[in-house]
Amino acid sequence: MLVNLKEILDMAEKGGYCIPAFNVYNMENVIGALHAAEEMRAPVILQVYPRLMKEETGYFLSPVILAAAKRATVPVCFNLDHGPSELEATRSIRYGATGVMLDGSTLPFEENIALTKKIVDFCKHVDVQVEGELGHVGTTADDSMDEFTTASDAKRFVEETGVVCLAVAVGTAHGRYKKPPKLDIERIKEIREATNNTALVLHGGSGVPDEEIKKAVKAGIRKMNFATDLCYAFIDCLAEDAVKPDRAVAVDTFMKRPIEAVKEFCISRIKLVGADGKAE
Ligand SMILES: [Zn+2]
C-alpha cells in the first residue's frame, strides 16, 4: 500500500527500527526492491533523485513506482531525494510522491530554514511531509565530511521548519568510501534528545560497516538511504551477464538476473536495519 512519509516513519519510531530507503532509477530497480520488501514483509521507501525528476525519466518512472506501491501488501512510500528547489518538489507531488526531501544544506542556515519551511507549508495541503537536511552530507570525493550537524541547530531547524525527519551529518558521505567511516553515535543521541526524538536520516548508507549501522539505528536513525550499492549490485550483474556468449537477448529475460541482484541487495539491507517482518 502507498503510504506517506509520516506514516512510514511513525511505524519505525513505534517499533524502534529503521526504514530502508532505496534509490531507484528504472523499472527493474523498482521490481527488485519491491520483491525484496514483499518477501521480507518490510515497509520500504522508494526514492528518486531530483535529476530524474527534472528529466523525462521521472515522468515515466513515477507511474511505475506508484503501481508497485499500490499493489504492494507492505507499506511503500514514494519519496523525492535531495530536492534542491520548489521545481522538483512540486513536480514530484504532481507525479504522486508522498514524501519530499528538500535539501537546503548548502545554503546558509537561515536560508535553509526559510526554503524548507516554504516547502513544508505547501506540502501540508496534499498530506505530504518533508525531510530536511542540516549539516552537509558531502560526497566521498570532497573534504566536507567535517561539517557535522549540531544538536542546537537541529533543535531550531526542526521547530521552525516543521520537517517530519532530518538528514544529519554524523560521519557518512555519498559514494564509495576509501576507508570505512566511523559514525558519531553520541551526536545522533544528542540530536535526538534536542529535537524531541525527531526521526533522523542517515544518507550515504552504502559501505558503512554493519556494526556502525546497527549502533546508529539504536541511537535513533529511522531512515537510511542506499543508492550507490544498489547501483553496483545492478550494474555489476548486468556487466557480467552482457559478455556471456549464451546470454539472453530479449531484454526482459536478460534483466531477470539484474533484478534478482537488486532484490538480494535490498534483502540484506532490510535485515541489517531491522525492518524485516515489521509490515504487519
Ligand atoms: Zn543523500
Residue 144's pLDDT is 54
Residue 146 falls inside a structural domain: yes
Distance CA 226, CA 140 (A): 14
Distance CA 75, CA 257 (A): 25
Task: Find the domain containing 129 and state its range.
Answer: 5-272
Residue 218 falls inside a structural domain: yes
Instruction: Report CA(190)–ligand 1 centroid distance (Å).
Output: 21
The mean pLDDT of 197-212, rounded to a whole number, is 92
- Residues 96-123 pLDDT 10s: 999 999 999 999 999 999 999 999 999 9
Residue 206's pLDDT is 83
Closest CA to 275 of 73, 4, 15: 15
The helix, strand and coil proportions of the chain, stated in percent and rounded to the nearest 5, come to 50, 15, 35
Residue 280 falls inside a structural domain: no
Instruction: Report CA(135)–ligand 1 centroid distance (Å).
Output: 12
Assigned C-alpha cell, 82 = 535531495
- Helix and strand numbers (H, E) in the chain are 12, 8
Instruction: Report CA(276)–ligand 1 centroid distance (Å).
Output: 23
Residue 278 falls inside a structural domain: no
Q: Please state the domain count of the chain.
A: 1
Residues labelled as active-site residues: 81
Residue 277 falls inside a structural domain: no
The mean pLDDT of 33-44, rounded to a whole number, is 98
Position 156 pLDDT exceeds 70: yes
Instruction: Report CA(152)–ligand 1 centroid distance (Å).
Output: 22
Instruction: Report which secondary-structure segment, H or E, holds 272.
Output: helix 256-272
Assigned C-alpha cell, 238 = 548486468
Instruction: Report CA(62)–ligand 1 centroid distance (Å).
Output: 19
Alpha helices in 83-145 (DSSP H): 86-94, 109-123
Residue 213's pLDDT is 95
Assigned C-alpha cell, 96 = 504522486
Residue 123 falls inside a structural domain: yes
The mean pLDDT of 5-33, rounded to a whole number, is 98
Position 184 pLDDT exceeds 90: yes
Distance CA 84, CA 278 (A): 32
Closest CA to 227 of 50, 97, 94: 50
The mean pLDDT of 16-40, rounded to a whole number, is 98
- Phi and psi dihedrals of 141, rounded to 5? -85, -15
Amino acid identity of 139?
T
Residue 279 falls inside a structural domain: no
Residue 160's pLDDT is 98
Residue 183's pLDDT is 93
Residue 117 falls inside a structural domain: yes
Contacts of 120 (CB under 8 A, 6+ apart): 102, 129, 130, 161, 162, 163
Instruction: Report CA(101)–ligand 1 centroid distance (Å).
Output: 10
Instruction: Report which secondary-structure segment, H or E, holds 48.
Output: strand 44-48
Instruction: Report CA(144)–ligand 1 centroid distance (Å).
Output: 14
Q: What percentage of the chain reaches a pLDDT higher than 90?
A: 90
Closest CA to 174 of 207, 196, 199, 146: 207
Report pTM: 0.95
Average pLDDT, the chain: 95
List Cα–Cα distances, 196 to 58, 78, 112, 151, 158, in angstroms: 35, 26, 20, 11, 9
CATH number at residue 173: 3.20.20.70
- Residues 249-275 pLDDT 10s: 999 999 999 999 999 999 999 999 999
Residue 178's pLDDT is 85
